[in-house]
Each structure stands twice: as structure tokens, then as C-alpha cells.
Amino acid sequence: MRSLLRWLWFNWIYFRQAPWDTRTSPPELVQFMDAHAPGRALDLGCGTGTNLLTMASYGWQVTGVEYAWRAVLIARRRLKQARVNGVLIAGDVTRAKLANGAFDLILDMGCYHGLATGSRAAYRANLLRWLAPGGTFLLYAHCQGAGGGAGIEEGEIEKFSTMLRLAERLDSYDSRERKAVWLRLERCV
């Protein structure tokens, strides 16, 4: 029942402007794009496709997975209008079927921190499966207890750091003063 309510809520929120949908890609992603040659990118929890459009504008082949079908419809329309040939999958990031080692970059801007604790191990297993050797994982997440909502715990950051090499960590606060973290992790060749 809880998962049905969650699915309904996420779809309902996209009938208006979702509070997290700024329609602007973060500077951390733009800096990464500026510094790296294009490849294949996966956006987990891609929402309405803003970051897919940004990555595609740098020449990346883009794929997005999004839980809310309403957001996927909006993203499809936006990609079509921009003439971007991206792949959009309406589904759960813990159950999506994607090719092993298919992505040079995996981006998560707020998906992981919203997952139920019991789903996070499946997410991490998929991340390892999908990320190509030498690939990069960019993660933005609220920290546990930040504003009383969902978040990532320090122990989970350590789990990511044992799977992948932590290349950069930036602790910050979001616009509502909730503690957040940006991680850049790399998969060894």
C-alpha cells in the first residue's frame, strides 16, 4: 500500500511544477561536462529531463529512468522538441533492465536519498552493474535528518566509497538550508 501511495504522490506532483524541478542543471554537472569527452550517460530519477538535455547538448548519448510516468511524458516532449534522441524508461531504478557496463556517466540528483532503505542495496548493485570501467558516478543527496525528510547516511556514503573510488566530496546546504552532499565517484578500470 505504501509503495502505491508513493507512486501516486510522485505522479500527482508532476501535474504542477515539482519543487525540486528547477529546469536548470547544477554547476557541478556543467563542470563535469566541460572537462570530459562525450560518452553514454544515465540519469537515475531523471524527472522532466533537464539534465538529459544538458548532457545531450554536450554530445552525450542519454538515457533516463524515472518513477513518475507523468514526468516521463514531459521529458519525452522536451527531448523531442530539442531533437534529442534519448531513451526514457518509466520505471523503478532498483528494477530497471539496462545493459551491463553500458554507461560512462551515471547521474543521480536526488533519487537515492528518496528510496526506501530496503531498496538501496538493489540500487547500489545496479549502479555497479551499469557503470562502465573508468566510469563516473555523480550523486547529489540530502543528508539524513536534513529537514526531517529522507536522506543519505554517512555509512551509506562509506558503502559507495568501498564500491567506487571517492574522487570528490562537497558538503553543502540546499536552498532551504538542508544539509546535502555532492559526490564524484569513479570506477577503476
> Which of 2.40.50.1020, 2.40.37.20, 3.40.50.300, 3.40.50.150 is the CATH number of 2-186?
3.40.50.150
Cβ(68)–Cβ(14) below 8 Å: yes
pLDDT of residue 151: 86
Residue ranges covered by each domain of the chain: 2-186
| Residue-level pLDDT, tens digit, the chain, 189 residues | 567 776 666 666 766 777 667 778 999 999 999 999 999 999 999 999 999 999 999 999 999 999 988 999 999 999 999 999 999 999 999 999 998 889 999 999 989 988 888 899 999 999 999 999 999 999 999 898 755 567 899 999 999 999 999 999 999 988 778 899 999 999 987
Q: Which residue reads 556514503 in cell numbers?
A: 157
> What is the chain's alpha carbon radius of gyration, rounded to the nearest angstrom?
15
